[in-house]
A and B are shown apart, each in its own frame.
Chain A
Amino acid sequence: MDPERMDPERMDHDLDQLFATARDTAPELPDSLAARMVEDALAVQAEALTSPAVERPVLRIGIFRQFLALLGGWPAMAGLATATVAGIWIGMSPPTILTEGASALGWQSVSGEDAYLVDTMSIFDTLAGEG
């Protein structure tokens, strides 16, 4: 029969009946398949429980990298290098403002070099030597 000429409600009804039949007569799980499923489940379970925990790759960091990380990485290292070079330069050729500044602080008679003199033997070392 031409589907176009059929009553849509009747066609829907017939189809619903077919669906109901399909639901009621669902293919049953064969016993052998159920047994294989359980067998797989127990095998996978046993394997998961006996296998060692997944080893994570160990992250090894060299001493230099650790030091670099401690400073704050390459940007901090660049700043440190600049400060070091500037320090050496100031030490070799102290600017006039530095010696004038020292004079202003009360070191009237010192020369430029005197401003950098450091007492390398403190009074505590002397006392310790005397006992």
Chain B
Amino acid sequence: MPLDALSNLNDDALLVLYANGDPAAARLLTDRLGPRVYAHAARLIGDRSEAEDIAQEAMLRLWRMAPDWRPGEAKVTTWLYRVTANLCTDRLRKARGGHKGLDEAADPADDSPSAAQAMQDKHRRAALDAALGQLPERQRQAVVLRHIEGLANPEIAEIMEISAEAVESLTARGKRALTAILADRREELGYRDE
């Protein structure tokens, strides 16, 4: 099937095509889902090289599960977020060292809009990642899914296999904790009282 025609299909349909042997579906699914899985893993684990391993493993599980996928029962992204989070949790538990600092060398160069702004963005993102790393795992996962990935509470509830009320509680506590952690760094991060 031509790539243009495939790009109009949803993830469910692409996964079925992939299971039926369409190589173009594999490439398109990687383009769509790979960046999200990798970014989510990087935010949860805080280490880019580990995030690469986790993202590759999560996608590998997707490919293996494709023949058994039942379209319409759940969203592919929901399934992937859950698998990614579980893989991150396993890694963190094995490491026991908790959150690691982001690998600064792996940051892509950012020239816009200005070098100073780019530096500040990078600094802020690193501060947020470090603060997220101090949260309990479930709070971190809920905050990332809600406020960075931008998912709605019902979908987060499905990913985390908890109620929407529990998601609300986790994100609220997570935000309060982040505020407390970052309070002392406001000026350093370029936030000033007016």
Are B148 and A3 within 8 A (Cβ)? Answer: no
Are B147 and A19 within 8 A (Cβ)? Answer: yes
Are B19 and A48 within 8 A (Cβ)? Answer: yes
Complex-state Cα separation, A3 to B28, whole angstroms? 46
The reply on A34 being an interface residue by CB < 8 A is yes
- B residues 27-72 near A (Cβ < 8 Å) are 27, 29-31, 34-35, 38-39, 42-43, 48, 51-52, 55-56, 59-60, 63-64, 66-67
The stretch of A6-14, A64-72, A100-108, A110-118 in contact with B is A6-14
Complex-state Cα separation, A44 to B43, whole angstroms? 28
Are B38 and A33 within 8 A (Cβ)? Answer: yes
Are B26 and A3 within 8 A (Cβ)? Answer: no
* Overall SS of chain A's interface: helix
The reply on B100 being an interface residue by CB < 8 A is no
Among A14, A16, A28, A36, the residue within 8 A (CB) of B56 is A36
Are A23 and B63 within 8 A (Cβ)? Answer: no
The reply on A1 being an interface residue by CB < 8 A is yes
The stretch of B3-11, B89-97, B121-129, B162-170 in contact with A is B121-129
Are B193 and A40 within 8 A (Cβ)? Answer: no
Are A27 and B63 within 8 A (Cβ)? Answer: no
The reply on A81 being an interface residue by CB < 8 A is no
What residues of A have a CB within 8 angstroms of the CB of B122 in the complex?
Answer: 25
How far does the Cβ of A42 sit from chain B's closest Cβ, in whole Å?
6
The reply on B21 being an interface residue by CB < 8 A is yes
The reply on A22 being an interface residue by CB < 8 A is yes
**CB within 8 Å for A25 and B182 given contacts A19-B147, A36-B56, A48-B67:** no
Complex-state Cα separation, A18 to B21, whole angstroms? 43
Complex-state Cα separation, A1 to B175, whole angstroms? 17
Complex-state Cα separation, A104 to B48, whole angstroms? 103
Question: In this complex, what residue of B is CB-closest to A24?
Answer: B121
Are A27 and B51 within 8 A (Cβ)? Answer: yes
Contact sample, A vs B, 16 pairs, CB 8 Å cutoff: A1-B184, A15-B179, A15-B182, A21-B125, A21-B128, A22-B128, A24-B121, A27-B51, A27-B106, A29-B35, A30-B52, A33-B52, A37-B56, A41-B18, A41-B63, A45-B23
4 more A-B residue pairs beyond the given contacts A18-B182, A21-B125, A29-B39, with a C-beta to C-beta distance below 8 A:
A6-B179, A14-B191, A21-B124, A38-B27
